[in-house]
Structure 1
Amino acid sequence: MEHDRTAEATEKTMALTARQLLATTTGKLAPDPGANRLVPLLARGAASRDTLAALALEQRWVIPADRRAFEYLAHRTAGPAPDTAAYFTALAEGEAVAAEKLAGFAAACGAGEERAVRHDPLPGCQAYPAYVAWLAVNGSPAETVLALHANFSAWGGYCATIATALRRHYGFTDEACAFFDHFAAPAPGLDAKATAAVQEGLAAGGLNQDLTLRYGRLLLAYEAMFWRTLWELEGAQPD
């Protein structure tokens, strides 16, 4: 009985530590507010519809790539780390839903199938999913969970702003905004799955915070590159 109480207390302590790690890592990896120049343009309704179309076309490449990367991470961790595998499975499922919702946004932008076939993906936009794929093959899973969770916090904020702007300034319907609504709203249970995954990593011997921050900074840099590449389509020049 005493052993059970001790184990329960240890588990609760580790859960608290996992939540703290998620929060502190997200804080340390918060993006520079000035790093993303495109979202403020969208918020004012000042971005062109051609840039919106480019955003839709680039996401047609990003979403399936990320889904396959998350599926591979789930496969890698299914045996030794089932909670971590459950987190990556949830991410892959979320990308599958996002792919369906992206069609409405693409159609509203005039970025249908014919235009998609002609579109050459932009290297600056595809660096992010390329790095996620690198993490899928080479990354330490628990540290990858922390880094991804931190980046998703920024991405969700961008999506919330874009969803509002599309309705207010561009007259887009709910169907056309559904892709951004999907990422703007917290996924049910995803935070709990992230906490369980980090807790599992702690129980397995700890986490390398330096490695987590290294992964996170690269994700942050490639995320910023994605938006900067699209912003440059507006013909703007750096200050």
Structure 2
Amino acid sequence: MANRARHLLDEARKAIASIEERIRCHPYLEAVEARRVEKGKLALFAGQQCHIIESDLRSVALIVSRAESQGARDFLGGMMQGERAALEALEPLGQALGLSPEQLHAVEPLPGAFAYSAYVTWLATYGTPAEFVGAFLVNLDAWGENCGRISRALQTGYRLSVQDVAFFDLFASAPPGFEEQGLAVVEEGLGQGADPLRIRRAARLLQGFELLYWDTMWEAAKG
């Protein structure tokens, strides 16, 4: 049982509860649900995700190559498969929002949006698998909830199809056993001397960059 890991991540979530609340109640989400974000601005969201997912794929591959245990490699390999599926699902989303595949990849990255991926790359380069996985376990709850809301809003308010919003639905709920398997990676890391402070710090910083992403999308939507 990954008791220490679960307790550690529960502590991490409590410490950043205010950040989580700001992400879950972000005005960008409310604007999309009220259909106050034009399609061109939604296309910018898809373009930013294209850069982020492509970067995160490389970052996960890097941490897989650094992981020493089979359990960590298996879990992180599953994350890579999820990132690949998300990248494939971006093209239908982009096309539904008016972007050809070439235009989707040509969208210029915004610093405040790409900062999340820059930190993921830092974690993959300098962090332990326990830090990397722990941060994502904390991060993905709010991201998944927001993706579910956007998926529903795009279908009801913007008349996009289920196939168009598959990108968001991929993140809306975690695969069976995802958290338990991730907790096992963190627990293993703790047993091998991973620093709990650094795991909590990684979770806090990643969630801070997540909030910055939504803030950046909101500013771009208003501009």
Q: Do they superpose with TM above 0.5? A: yes
Displacement of 1:134 in angstroms is 0.7
Q: Does 116-125 or 129-138 show the bigger shift?
A: 116-125
Paired residue for 2:51?
61
Equivalent pair of 1:29/1:150 in contact (CA under 8 Å): no
Tell me the percent identity: 33
Q: Which amino acid aligns with 1:84?
A: A
Paired residue for 1:16?
3
1:1-239 mapped onto 2 (5 Å cutoff): 12=1, 15-30=2-17, 31-35=19-23, 36-77=26-67, 80-116=68-104, 118-205=106-193, 207-235=194-222
Deviations 1:150-192 (A, max 9, x none): 0111111110111111111111100011110000011233112
Q: 1:48 to 1:33 in 2, by over 3 A?
A: farther
**RMSD of aligned residue pairs (Cα, Å):** 1.8
Q: Distance in 2 between matches of 1:32 and 1:226?
A: 13
Q: Which amino acid aligns with 2:10?
A: A
* Structure 1 residue ranges (4+ consecutive) displaced by more than 4 angstroms after TM superposition: none
Equivalent pair of 1:90/1:190 in contact (CA under 8 Å): no
Deviations 1:185-213 (A, max 9, x none): 112331122021012112213x4232122
Q: Distance in 2 between matches of 1:194 and 1:83?
A: 9
Q: TM-score scaled to structure 2, two decimals?
A: 0.91
Q: TM-score scaled to structure 1, two decimals?
A: 0.85
Gaps of 5+ in 1: 1-11
Larger Rg: 1
Gaps of 5+ in 2: none
Displacement of 1:32 in angstroms is 4.3
